[in-house]
Structure 1
């Protein structure tokens, strides 16, 4: 059982108390003196020798995890949440510790790194759906060290055009917005423009009267989103190549995209590919780039609107790239391009200054798929399946938003929720990046 956790006397006593109540001091002595463990003294205050910990000899931990039933190993990991909360005097809840392991925006405090590292190794050795969780934790703790030096941040302002359409898709209002942004200078003179998304509270999900809505868009719920920066456009093929040439962090990146063009959105990439891109971009720029949460994406897409699309009640092929052979509401049919279009080519943004939020390519989000919004976070964070130890699924689906060049208009709505397994690569799936204000 102890192969699943860092070994110290408090941990051993907790396992005895919670999982092996019939064990005694003799059993403890057999474990400590059986030739599997070697003592390591932790450093205490003022450099003095502190509490004695133990580590397995090389290869022993892996072998024990392999021969131990998965259910018992998982029980030990769950039991250790109590150890973290009580013995290490964690000042937050156990839920906060879970967030430390799984939420990319929550730092792992140094004293919990040993537990995080062994948890990651253990889950990966268990295989199946546990392996995905372990990879997620391992990716977080092996995230490149960015240090304190960052490229200087200079906010600039750009003008963008927004429109509002009526139920027929006719433009009834035009406006010019001033939007703040900063520019990341990537290799090969490639630029990445990041737009300021102001914090705020919105209703996530679709209202009951919205045409062609789905049950998974229920219940509508209030979400408060902190401010962040989001890519002005989906990541382009030129941006992809510039970052993909950087040093590997966790996985290789292969050439992507079925449709070719520097200013076309990158596509045919998996969720894992998108995360690796964010990791390399973070190391390059010394800012913590990531995928948006599903709540951040919908909040950013809406731009303060409550209509099915951020420009109004319907959509037309003059406003976005989707399958124009189909209609939404009272809108009219139009052309079906059957391919991606250059980012920003419609020259219409939403109120936050974001382009191509409807159609062109689906955009990966951090979140796991959930069948509806019951018990969803209300703080804008990613909704991850931390509790799904009992599901034997090998690869939990991840969220995509926004629709694509091949989508029906109802699937391009601000609220529409799509999901694929994270290894899927299709020529309609892309992404855009975000960075939190706190990480700048």
Structure 2
């Protein structure tokens, strides 16, 4: 028994395409043959021509007939009198295949070659849409690989290669923007989840001391302060520590006999409520983390200290090698950037962080001292990072770093447990700068006016002599002016503050 030839569906479609392409040629040949043949052939020939002329959208059933020996004589004569059956007899068409425009039939039974002597069965063919084969471009393949991505960098890389005007360019831009928004939301949520107020560091020990008038260290002692920490990134160990500053009253300003005193340091009494103040100045690492969070009102540069570090400075003697940048205080910060830093902390913690007021800052710096410095009548580089080449009072010159040092690296805090309140970098306060205290609040609040020319900065910096780092010394700077000038923000950083009533500690009893 002769095996039945198997024809795949794709081959059948190819055959059909060839038949359609040569349809007009076959029809013309058929007509010419009919004209040349006799009338005895016309009836069956016209019937076969009608089959060829059937509109493509009409389905065609293939019905088996008897073998050539069993067919009527008229049919056998028609087959012999024109060549059309002969033309297609050599094509291997599967029985049950329906050919129509854009439609291929699924062969239900494998038939025989047209003109075969083997009998065929009657088969009803069910139309089925032919599969469309599309050759994908490189851009299509690249797009299919990233279209469901949640990474904005994937869409940015696609745009970098194919451009915004490409086939998927505009969609890629939109998805990149959406993915970036989701990434920032996720980071903000993680930061908020990690920003926990903790009591684990409560009553932390610190070292303090006093200085004799000639600068010798005396009375070193270990004290304790209540410290809370805001964990920003637990894995990287990024946390902001704040020290509890007790409420109290003090005389703000300086007495007339104090060396280096300025007229704007008029003595007056101020009452300070309990609050918390940053144990250290904000570091570059802490700044960079908060700068990466979604903005509240304005953008923050990730490293404002980079521009500050490029500013030329006169090298000073005894300067130690540069330290790890992460623990250095951030500097070169404008006043509005410092305020934005506090806003972002408030957003992720729900706590009302802010800059300290000028009165709060001086009260915290003094830590109960009524002398020019928290450590006594003079100041040296043993307890503060200042320019030690110009001693204060009866002090002696001391080795000088000439630049900011890692926060707390000198190891000596004031009596409240606050480090680097004298020197290292200037620190912004909330207040607008005015030349006197005539209208200054007496409750520890900030004095402010609309669009002031200057804002208050306190504490001095590493390149300033001791006289300019006194507790009562009132520094000023143009709040948004960067660069190297006497009133520019160069060498200025910040530490954060919050009232105790605004800092609801975890574990506090509900009222």
Please report the TM-score for the alignment, with normalisation by the length of structure 2: 0.54
Which of 340, 345, 364 is the equivalent residue of 2:409?
Answer: 345
The answer to whether the 8 A contact 1:317-1:324 is kept is: yes
CA distance in 1, matches of 2:204, 2:379: 25
The answer to whether the 8 A contact 1:341-1:360 is kept is: yes
Displacement, 1:247? 0.6
The answer to whether the 8 A contact 2:279-2:417 is kept is: yes
Displacement, 1:427? 3.6
- Equivalent position of 2:500 in the other structure: 437
CA distance in 1, matches of 2:441, 2:239: 34
SS in structure 1 opposite 2:326? coil
The answer to whether the 8 A contact 2:197-2:228 is kept is: no
CA distance in 2, matches of 1:400, 1:170: 29
Does residue 229 (structure 1) correspond to residue 276 (structure 2)? The answer is yes
Larger relative contact order, structure 1 or 2 (CA cutoff 8 Å, min sep 6): 1
Off by >2 Å, runs of 4+ in structure 1? 150-155, 424-427
- Equivalent position of 1:398 in the other structure: 455
The answer to whether the 8 A contact 1:406-1:428 is kept is: no
Does residue 275 (structure 1) correspond to residue 339 (structure 2)? The answer is yes
The answer to whether the 8 A contact 1:183-1:193 is kept is: yes
After superposition, the C-alpha distances for 1:370-408 in whole angstroms (9 at most, x for unaligned) are 10111211000001126xxxxxxx652100000001111
Which of 240, 248, 268 is the equivalent residue of 2:287?
Answer: 240
After superposition, the C-alpha distances for 1:339-358 in whole angstroms (9 at most, x for unaligned) are 11000011000111000000
Does residue 249 (structure 1) correspond to residue 296 (structure 2)? The answer is yes
Which of 466, 491, 499 is the equivalent residue of 1:428?
Answer: 491
Structure 1 unmatched runs, 5+: 1-146, 387-393
Displacement, 1:153? 4.3
For 1:43-54, what aligned pairs fall within 5 Å after superposition?
A: none
- Equivalent position of 2:225 in the other structure: 179
CA distance in 2, matches of 1:192, 1:212: 34
CA distance in 1, matches of 2:410, 2:196: 31
The answer to whether the 8 A contact 1:151-1:286 is kept is: no
- Equivalent position of 2:374 in the other structure: 310
Cα 1:436–1:211 change in 2 (3 A) is same
Displacement, 1:154? 2.2
User: Which 10-residue stretch deviates more, 253-262 or 325-334?
Assistant: 253-262
Does residue 169 (structure 1) correspond to residue 245 (structure 2)? The answer is no
Which of 464, 471, 478 is the equivalent residue of 1:414?
Answer: 471
User: Which 10-residue stretch deviates more, 224-233 or 208-217?
Assistant: 208-217
SS in structure 2 opposite 1:300? helix
Displacement, 1:172? 2.3
SS in structure 2 opposite 1:282? helix
Does residue 382 (structure 1) correspond to residue 446 (structure 2)? The answer is yes
SS in structure 1 opposite 2:424? coil
After superposition, the C-alpha distances for 1:35-79 in whole angstroms (9 at most, x for unaligned) are xxxxxxxxxxxxxxxxxxxxxxxxxxxxxxxxxxxxxxxxxxxxx
CA distance in 1, matches of 2:256, 2:467: 15
SS in structure 2 opposite 1:216? coil
The answer to whether the 8 A contact 2:281-2:329 is kept is: yes
Cα 1:410–1:243 change in 2 (3 A) is same
SS in structure 2 opposite 1:410? helix
CA distance in 1, matches of 2:284, 2:441: 33
Does residue 202 (structure 1) correspond to residue 250 (structure 2)? The answer is yes
CA distance in 2, matches of 1:337, 1:304: 28
Q: How many residues are aligned here?
A: 285
Larger fraction in strand: 1
Structure 2 unmatched runs, 5+: 1-191, 310-323, 483-488, 504-511
The answer to whether the 8 A contact 1:167-1:312 is kept is: yes
RMSD, matched Cα: 1.8
